[in-house]
Amino acid sequence: MIEKLKKLNPDLDIYSVRDEEFNKYGKLLSIDTSEMIGTCLGLDFPREKSEYIPSVDALEKSDISDDLRMIMFGGCPTQIGITHGYNRFLNGLEYHKCSEINVAATPLCLILGLQYEMEGKEYDSSRAKVFFLEKGDAVEIYSTTLHFCPCQVSDEGFSCVVVLAEGTNTLLDAPSEDKLLFKKNKWIICHDENLELIERGVYPGIHGINYEIKY
């Protein structure tokens, strides 16, 4: 599938998470994700757009949940949730002050950048790179990596487990003077053409092409 994606998206740098290029952004984990995938595909799927649920009880209790917690934070409190639905565009980029584990319950693409590529609060989208995950792949995304909603590679949409420090992506207890701090442990910028996120208060710091994954 990755070769097909490369042909259909000649303006994008598309790699596999098995390529050396991924080493700057994260690492591939060797772990059996089959039960977790089955759980994801059994959950109610959005009819349109995408949704993120920070904690899903069935995923928290899966057979590899303790392994993921140990890999993630050495046993410290961790939340295991899901993002799934439909998305084909870059749209935004976020980062956390911790790594994030993603498990691809379907094939999908991640559009990634690096924090040091930002100029203040601004980011040129031409710096971003695309990484393809096969169904079942589990990866650690480093805290220095800019990332956002996965992109689908078929009309069926995408489904992805998200493992983060407990409380991440939940509502702030009080407003912050930091323009990029949108939720707890979630700093985000959006593309300057993404009016939906701008209206929600996200800083429009991404400039250039709002890349679309064609499949």
Instruction: Could you list the beta-strand ranges (E) of the chain.
Output: 14-16, 26-29, 50-53, 78-85, 92-95, 100-104, 108-114, 123-124, 129-133, 138-141, 145-146, 151-152, 158-165, 181-183, 186-191, 203-207
Domains of the chain with CATH codes: 2-207 (2.60.120.10)
Q: What is the pLDDT of residue 24?
A: 97
Predicted local confidence at residue 31, as pLDDT: 94
pLDDT tens for each residue of 15-64? 999 999 999 999 999 999 999 999 999 999 999 999 999 999 999 999 89
- When pLDDT is averaged across residues 88-98 and rounded to a whole number, the result is 98
Beta carbons of 197 and 210 less than 8 angstroms apart = no
Q: What is the pLDDT of residues 156-168, one digit of tens each?
A: 999 999 999 999 9
Res. 73: pLDDT tops 90: no
Portion of the chain with pLDDT greater than 70, in percent:
100
Q: What is the DSSP string of 107-166?
A: -EEEEEEEGGG-BTTBEEGGG-EEEEE-TT-EEEEPTTEEB-S-EESSTT-EEEEEEEET
Q: Give the per-residue pLDDT at 210.
A: 98
Strands 100-104 and 158-165: antiparallel
Where do we find the tokens 């870059």? 90
Q: How many residues does the chain have?
A: 215
Grade residue 71 by pLDDT with cuts at 50, 70 and 90: confident
The model's confidence at residue 148, banded by pLDDT at 50, 70 and 90, is very high
pLDDT in tens, 13-29: 999 999 999 999 999 99
- pLDDT score, position 75: 87
- The answer to whether the beta carbons of residues 104 and 188 sit under 8 Å apart is no
What average pLDDT does range 125-149 have in this prediction?
98
pLDDT exceeding 90 applies to what percent of the chain? 97
Report, as an integer, the average pLDDT of 188-205. 97
Predicted TM-score (pTM) of the model is 0.95
**pLDDT, position 65:** 92
Is 59:161 a contact under the CB 8 Å cutoff?
Answer: yes
